[in-house]
Copies of this chain bind each other. A is one copy, B any other.
Amino acid sequence: MPNTRSTNRLKPSLFRVIDITYRLFWFFRTYYVCPRYFLDVLFSRLHDFGFRGCTSVEQSLIGGCAHLLNFSGSDTLSAAYYAQFHLNGGLPVATSIPATEHSVMTAYVSEIEAIRAVIDRFGTGVFACVMDSYDYVAALEKILPVVAQQKLAKGGFMVLRPDSGDPADMVLMGLRAAEKVFGTELNSKGFKVLKGCSVIQGDGVSYSVICSLLTLIQDAGFSAENVAFGMGGGLLQKVHRDTLSFATKLSYVKYANGDVKQVMKIPQTDKAKISMPGELDVYRDEQSRPTTFPRDQPPPTESPSLLQVVYDHGPLPNYTWDTFAQIRARANREWAAAPTHHNAISTLLQQKTATVLDGLRKGLVECNAENR
């Protein structure tokens, strides 16, 4: 049972934290190189491409919903459906656009015929087209100029999608080809914005790839808003229990005779695995940052406990769960207010940990001496 609970609780926690690292990165990055309005489209910059790589539909749903707390773009239909109809009273949570992939492209007699069909059908809105079915360079240099008039006549927004090769090369190649065909204008920060076109990189994307790509794009004079990212395996699969060393540990025992013990795991061979002793609680500290404190000492501020009991030998009767929109709004508010660095273990708890640690070590030495 503890394992089952740990299992079901694990992924959303991980995702929320990992997603937000991307989100924050985007925020700070774009703050300096893009006009203010770009912050509004931040939500669509990291798209969930992860469904087909998932172990199971349940995994896609859990991870996909966690992603949707911080971003709006998702092709993981299971999560989009669940978030909308089971968690948000039917109100839409996720967005996406018409997009091609290789089966569609290669099913046509030729690539140019496939692209013409896509523009014909979806060209009045935002649509994405995978460009590497046969030869990415040829698609950019030979096909794109030929279909440009048709695309312009339709009036929509075309997203070019490379899907193989070095991400940095492919994205820059796409930006430059699109600039040549459709042109750019400068935004208020002096960076180039493509006219009616952008690039989405959805292959081999990771946190470090996003970081280095944004630097390269900026160095090439393009605004970050020209590029979005799609993540598949990296978003829903390459995240595991070790990613943030997530673990649930025993911290406090009340024996049948009424005695209590502050429990700690203290492996000498890996100090990162040392756990916290005693009953714990989470309050806001003096600067309003959520922080873990020992429960047996008075709270440091007027802040009430941030922990809530929602499950006690079963779900609580009459407990009203927040809607997805409420959780998303709270996550946005909290993360926006959160500092970039904060030790969430309070000084009080650090002091108590040191004291309990000393006591336990003394006890262990005595115990070893006794038994020799």
Contacts and interface: CB of A to CB of B under 8 A. Distances in A.
Contacts of A164: 267, 269-270, 273
A268 B238 contact: no
Contact of A59 (B53, B55, B103): B55
B265 A133 contact: yes
Given A266-B134, A372-B142, A110 B363 contact: yes
A185 interface: no
Given A51-B3, A240-B238, A267 B134 contact: yes
Interface in A58-80: 58-60, 62-63, 77-78
B109 A371 contact: no
Interface string A151-167: 00000000000111110
Nearest to A163: B267
A112 interface: yes
Contacts of A266: 133-135
Contacts of A249: 102-103
A188 interface: no
The residue among A63, A132, A269 with the most chain B CB atoms within 10 A of its own CB is A269
Interface in A341-372: 360-361, 363-364, 367-368, 371-372
Interface of A: 2-4, 6-8, 10-11, 51-60, 62-63, 77-78, 102-103, 106-107, 109-112, 132-138, 142-143, 146, 162-166, 170, 232-233, 237-238, 240-242, 249-250, 253, 261, 263-270, 273, 360-361, 363-364, 367-368, 371-372
